[in-house]
Each structure stands twice: as structure tokens, then as C-alpha cells.
Copies of this chain bind each other. A is one copy, B any other.
Amino acid sequence: MATIKDVAKEAGVSIATVSAVINGTRFVAKPTKKRVVDAVARLGYQPNRMARALKQKKSHMIAHILPSVMNPFFPAALKGVEDAAFAAGYSVLVCNTEANPERIQRYTDLLLETQVDGVVITAPGLRSIHDMAETLHRSGIPVVVLSGPRSLKNFDRVLVDDVQCGYLAAQHLLEAGHGNLGFIQVARSTTSKHRLQGVCEALQVKGAKQPALVLEAHGFTEQEGYRLGVDFASRHEKPTAMVASNDMLAVGFSEALHDSGLTIPKHLSLVGIDNTMAASLRPRLSSVAIPAYDMGLEAVRRLIARMDGSQQGTPLTTTLNPSIVEGHSVVEVSVHSVAQNHA
């Protein structure tokens, strides 16, 4: 690899001059500049990023910390992060924590050593990730949290409005004429609670206060969805439509209905939330899409604003809006058929 010294010699100038023409940091006479440019081309010179980083104390790298790229939500966020970073001249280091405390520990050390200029942490559920964020932050590294809990109050955050998610899901069903809805919630999850609240808010427009039926799952899993689906199928009084706290639940739920001889959307209209599994169902599940890609973009924009100092002071939280994407799991219903609520 040619160094700046080689270029300087080749062009017959000092290294300071080479640096100047490369970075445009000061005026260089036209003919001199040309000599340098030519020399660079001849030698195929590429500035050494390590050396530059060392001198400038800026690595031009950011880290994206996430639980696992295998989870369908994260690749989209990662891509948003990478796109925004790329556009701004940053490279991104991926760090899969796998929710493993040991990995998390090693990664925070690694990131400190690497002198990354900033990090975006997505969906930090664990205490150890919380600690990681704090540690990095204390070391002066800007941190923005993507889709994290309210407890991370020292950081910039970019979120999707969970209440709005529930609201949209319910509204979509109401607009299709469904009067009494059910909801599948998840025990001890604030996310789920917010989504339920959104459902309630939508219902209030119709005068109702609560969903006609609330089933409780113990986790956002397909198995739990299936379990509740079996339960549901055996009931006499059934709402004509359900909202699931997330798509996984919806998939399991729908599977159970299918096994019980009930079909969607004929016997039940169903809408999911997060739109990760929409393609997994026939007919396609209607679901509320979380703009993961856009959240990634926004997170990095926030981060860059912190890194270049154009944004200072108290933490900001940006909220993006979800949107409903229609599948074929919801059926229009006339005002009359709403009244009769058994399949």
C-alpha cells in the first residue's frame, strides 16, 4: 500500500500538501494540485483510515447492537441504519448480543476499544443491555435507542407509537363494520398494554369502553397464540373480529382456528401487529406495520446530529407512525350481521 509519503515524493511536494489536496483543507495552487492528483492516481493511493482515525480521534464507525439478526424485525432496522450511515460516510459494525450477558460484556469492551463514534441499540429488553448503554454513554459515546423502554431516559430514542398501533388495528376493523372486537394481550408486557389501550381508544369513538373479549397470552409466541385459538374456538360467544398483540400470536391463533374448522376471514376477521408474519398466512394477514427501516434511518440521523455536535442537551425521543397494511384476513360486514355474533 502506498502511503502519503510515497505520494509526496512522487509529486515532489511535502506530505502536508498532499494531505491538503486530499482533504481540501487549504488552498493549493492549481499546478501543484494536479501533480498531487496525478501521483495519487499513479500509485493508487488510499488514505489509511486507521491512521486518520488515530489522529482525529474519530473512527467513522458506528455500531448497531441488536438481539439477533435472525429475528424478522431487525434486518429492516439494520438496513435503515446502514443506509443512513453509508450516506453519511460511516461504516457499521453489527453486534448480535443474543441476549447473552457475556457477549454483551465483551462487546461493550470491544466497542470502547474500537472507539466507535456512536452506537444505536435496538430493542434493549435486558438489564445487561441497559448497563451497556449506560457504560458507553458514560464513556462519552453518543447512544441512541431504537424501540426501547421508557426507562432509558438518558438517551435519544426513536420509537413507534404502540398505542397508535392498537388504535389503527381496531380502527381498521371498525371501518370494516365490526362492532365488537377481541384482543389478545400478553401478560406483563407494557408494549401489549399500550396496544390494548389503543384499541380501547378506537372503541371509545363507538361508545364502547373495552373489547368484548380479552385473551391473555404468556409471551409473544406462536404456541401461545395456538393455545388461545383453541380456547377461542370452544367459546359460544365470539366476537366477529380479533386484534393480536403481534403477528406471531396471530399466526398461532389462526392455525388453531383452522384446526378447529373455522376459517379466516369467514368466521373471524383477524388483524396482527408488527407485520412480520404477514406473508406467512393464507389468506395474507392484515397487520399494522412498524416502520423498522425508517426507524433505523432516523436513529442514525439522530446519532449523527449528536456526534457532530449539531444537537446537544437533553435527550430527544422521536416517534414514528405505524400504518396498516391490508391483507385478506378482514372481511367487510354489514351493520346487521354485526349484531349476530356467533359464527
User: Roughly how many angstroms separate A36 CA and B25 CA in the complex, as a whole number?
Assistant: 41
Please report the C-alpha to C-alpha distance between residue A78 and residue B79 in the assembled complex, in whole angstroms. Answer: 13
8 Å CB contact of A79 from B68, B76, B113: B68
Cα distance A148–B308 in the bound complex, in angstroms: 40
Q: Is B94 in contact with A78, judged by CB distance below 8 angstroms?
A: yes
How would residues 103 to 119 of chain A score, 1 for a CB under 8 Å from any chain B CB and 0 otherwise?
Answer: 10010011011110000
Give Cα distance in the complex from A73 to B235, angstroms: 41
Q: A114 to B93, Cβ gap below 8 A?
A: no
Is the CB of A334 closer than 8 A to any CB of chain B?
no
Minimal beta-carbon separation of A38 from chain B (angstroms): 18
Given A69-B69, A94-B92, A282-B282, are A115 and B48 also a contact pair (CB < 8 Å)?
Answer: yes
Interface stretch among A51-59, A173-181, A208-216, A315-323?
A51-59
> How many interface residues does chain A have, given as a range?
35 or more
B75 touches A115 (CB 8 A): no
Contact B79 A48 (CB under 8 A): no
User: B46 contacts A50, CB within 8 Å?
Assistant: no
Evaluate contact between A115 and B68: CB separation under 8 angstroms.
no
Q: Give A286 Cβ to nearest chain B Cβ, in Å.
A: 16
**Of all chain B residues, which has the CB nearest A51?**
B54
Chain B nearest Cβ from A123, distance in angstroms: 15
Q: Does A280 contact B (CB under 8 A)?
A: yes
Q: Which of B94, B277, B282 contacts A82 (CB 8 A)?
A: B94
Q: Is A49 an interface residue (CB 8 A)?
A: yes
Assess whether A91 is interfacial by the CB under 8 Å rule: yes
Among residues of B, the one whose C-beta sits closest to the C-beta of A258 is B282
A59 touches B70 (CB 8 A): no
Neighbouring B residues of A279 by C-beta, 8 Å: 277, 280
Chain B residue with minimal CB distance to A47? Answer: B113
A3 to chain B, nearest CB (A): 11
* Interface presence of A23 (CB below 8 A): no
Asked if A281 CB lies within 8 Å of chain B CBs, one says yes
In the docked arrangement, what's the CA distance between A50 and B82, Å? Answer: 22
- A86-100, CB under 8 A of B: which get 1 and which 0? 100001111110000
Q: In the complex, which residues of chain B have a beta carbon less than 8 angstroms from the beta carbon of A282?
A: 255, 258, 281-282
1/0 per residue, CB under 8 A from B, across A15-56: the answer is 000000000000000000000000000000011111101100
**Given A75-B70, A79-B96, A94-B92: A46 touches B86 (CB 8 Å cut-off):** no
Give 18 A-B pairs besides A49-B114, A69-B75, A83-B96 with Cβ atoms closer than 8 angstroms: A1-B139, A49-B113, A50-B50, A50-B53, A50-B114, A51-B54, A54-B54, A61-B93, A69-B79, A70-B75, A70-B79, A82-B94, A86-B103, A92-B94, A93-B93, A255-B282, A258-B282, A281-B282
Q: 30 A-B Cβ contacts within 8 A?
A: A46-B113, A48-B54, A48-B113, A48-B115, A49-B113, A49-B115, A50-B50, A50-B53, A50-B114, A51-B54, A54-B54, A61-B93, A68-B79, A69-B69, A69-B78, A69-B79, A69-B82, A70-B79, A74-B75, A75-B75, A79-B96, A91-B93, A91-B110, A91-B114, A92-B93, A255-B282, A279-B280, A280-B280, A281-B282, A282-B282
